[in-house]
Amino acid sequence: MSSPAPKITKIAVYQVDLPLKEGSYKWSEGKSVQTFDATIVQVSTDIGVTGYGECCPLGPTYLPSYAEGCRVGIKTLAPSLIGKNPLELLKLNEYMDKCLKGHPYVKSPIDVACWDILGKVTKQPIVTLLGGRFGEEYNLYRAISQGTAEEMRRSVEKYQSEGYKIFQLKVGGKIDEDISRIKACSDILAPEELLIADANTGWLMHEAVRVCNAVRDYSNVYIEQPCATYEENASVRKQCQLPMLMDESMDDVHVLNRIITDKSADGINLKISKVGGLTKARMIRDLCVSVGLAMNVEDTWGSDIATAAISHLAHSTPPRYLLMSTDFNSYVSKDTADGAPKREHGCMRAPEGPGLGIEPKMAVLGKPLFEIC
């Protein structure tokens, strides 16, 4: 006789401040952040297995998400999840969408925590459940905070010495300054290195076209999310000879279908919390693989727990389609879990333990802000 299905018995929510090692992180239109506000979710079951997930928006000005909103949303959603089976991930996601319209970032840490539970129950790492580990490691990029052309060039040189080969340059400011930033950093790259000029929606269409034309002879440059809307980016893509990535506009499978149909981008940024968790991120990842669209697998931000989730999705993605990924836990000065993946020479690998393969540091998490039973 089979064992009864496990049930969710409690959802606890923790808040952790994550100061940046470099002091501040700056991107388009003068936006910046010094300390990230992370929400960590603990999902407990009646079989004694507990899972963890994390959501950390890049402040309230990057996407339609913010840290306090995540916690309020979980407080609204969590009571309806008590008694549900955490192993039935697609069914659970359908139910969450029924109980709370929209707000995918609210659902993401719950979904990831349930993947953690599934891995622990089946004694497998999430990377195996997502399709299997490709190779020994995968490539990381390093985000270069916006500054002068010379400051950004020095940052690229610093991270070249640490083994990174892909650099995401934060542009989206004054056009002449952005062109200088891109050229200064591209000039010091080796042939196998890449520069992603990420405007974070900061340019108007005519400005984006000017930048693309000015740097079109740099074969190692990609343009990322130059303008605010899907339609604007699609227009720029038609006039740009460089590869283009869609990020902020790429928030669900319906947008991905438009990108595929319109050929409006050459790759996407797949952010786990932006699409609602690993369940939906896997759907999008697999569709990209099936049509030959490259991806950057990441999230909005986070600490060890978010980085572990990213690592499992990235390491289970066929290398040909994985353009890059990220190591957010190396940017912040606070560790939230033992066993988290760490970068080595610009690369990373997913943990091998069951589930996420990490153990949260409860002394760092402190007392929960609230618990729903």
| 60 and 142 in a common domain | no
Whether the per-residue pLDDT at 1 is higher than 60: the answer is no
DSSP state of 123: T
Q: Are 32 and 296 in contact (CB under 8 A)?
A: no
Whether the per-residue pLDDT at 13 is higher than 80: the answer is yes
DSSP string, 189-254: --TT-EEEEE-TT-S-HHHHHHHHHHTTT-TTEEEE--SSSHHHHHHHHHH--S-EEE-TT--SHH
| 145 and 95 in a common domain | no
Which residue spans within the chain are E strands per DSSP? Answer: 8-19, 25-26, 32-33, 35-45, 50-55, 138-139, 141-144, 166-170, 194-198, 221-224, 244-246, 267-271, 294-298, 322-325, 337-338, 347-348, 359-360, 370-372
What CATH number is given to the structural domain containing 52?
Answer: 3.30.390.10
| 276 and 132 in a common domain | yes
Q: Which of 33-42, 56-65, 312-321 has the lowest mean pLDDT?
A: 56-65
Is residue 215 one of the residues assigned to a domain?
A: yes
* Percent of the chain scoring above 70 in pLDDT: 99
Pick from 116, 143, 138: nearest CA to 58: 143
237-248 per-position pLDDT tens digit: 999 999 999 999
| 153 and 103 in a common domain | no
Whether the per-residue pLDDT at 110 is higher than 90: the answer is yes
| 204 and 100 in a common domain | no
Q: Is 170 a catalytic residue?
A: yes
| 110 and 238 in a common domain | no
Q: Residues 9-36: what's their mean pLDDT?
A: 91
161-200 per-position pLDDT tens digit: 999 999 999 999 999 999 999 999 999 999 999 999 999 9
Question: Quick one: pLDDT band at residue 30, thresholds 50, 70, 90?
Answer: confident
Question: Quick one: pLDDT band at residue 7, thresholds 50, 70, 90?
Answer: very high
Residue 12, φ and ψ in degrees, nearest 5:
-110, 145
Whether the per-residue pLDDT at 325 is higher than 90: the answer is yes
What CATH number is given to the structural domain containing 202?
Answer: 3.20.20.120
Q: Is 238 a catalytic residue?
A: no
| 59 and 176 in a common domain | no
72-105 per-position pLDDT tens digit: 999 999 999 999 999 999 999 999 999 999 999 9
Range of the domain at 220: 128-356
Tally of domains in the chain: 2
Q: Residues 302-326: what's their mean pLDDT?
A: 98
- Amino acid 64: pLDDT: 83
Question: Quick one: pLDDT band at residue 24, thresholds 50, 70, 90?
Answer: confident
DSSP state of 277: S
Q: Which of 120, 165, 170, 280 is catalytic?
A: 170
Q: Kindly tell me the number of DSSP H helices and DSSP E strands found in the chain.
A: 13, 18
Is residue 1 one of the residues assigned to a domain?
A: no
Is residue 189 one of the residues assigned to a domain?
A: yes
- Amino acid 62: pLDDT: 82
| 200 and 140 in a common domain | yes
Cα distances from 118 to residues 62, 336, 350, in angstroms, run 32, 21, 16
Reported as half-sphere exposure (CB side, CA atoms, 13 A), residue 204 has a value of 3
Q: Which of 107, 120, 165, 271 is catalytic?
A: 271
Q: Residues 332-338: what's their mean pLDDT?
A: 97
| 151 and 110 in a common domain | no
- Amino acid 2: pLDDT: 64
Q: What are the tokens at 292?
A: 């030959």
More confident: 31 or 324: 324
Residue 108's H or E segment, with its range, is helix 104-122
| 348 and 213 in a common domain | yes
117-160 per-position pLDDT tens digit: 999 999 999 999 999 999 999 999 999 999 999 999 999 999 99
Whether the per-residue pLDDT at 3 is higher than 80: the answer is no
Is residue 102 one of the residues assigned to a domain?
A: yes
- Amino acid 31: pLDDT: 84
Chain-wide mean pLDDT for the chain?
A: 96
DSSP state of 64: S
Is residue 3 one of the residues assigned to a domain?
A: no
| 145 and 85 in a common domain | no
Is residue 338 one of the residues assigned to a domain?
A: yes
- Amino acid 345: pLDDT: 94
Is residue 240 one of the residues assigned to a domain?
A: yes
| 335 and 255 in a common domain | yes
Residues ≥6 apart with Cβ < 8 Å to 3:
none
Q: Are 223 and 235 in contact (CB under 8 A)?
A: no
- Amino acid 25: pLDDT: 86
Is residue 2 one of the residues assigned to a domain?
A: no
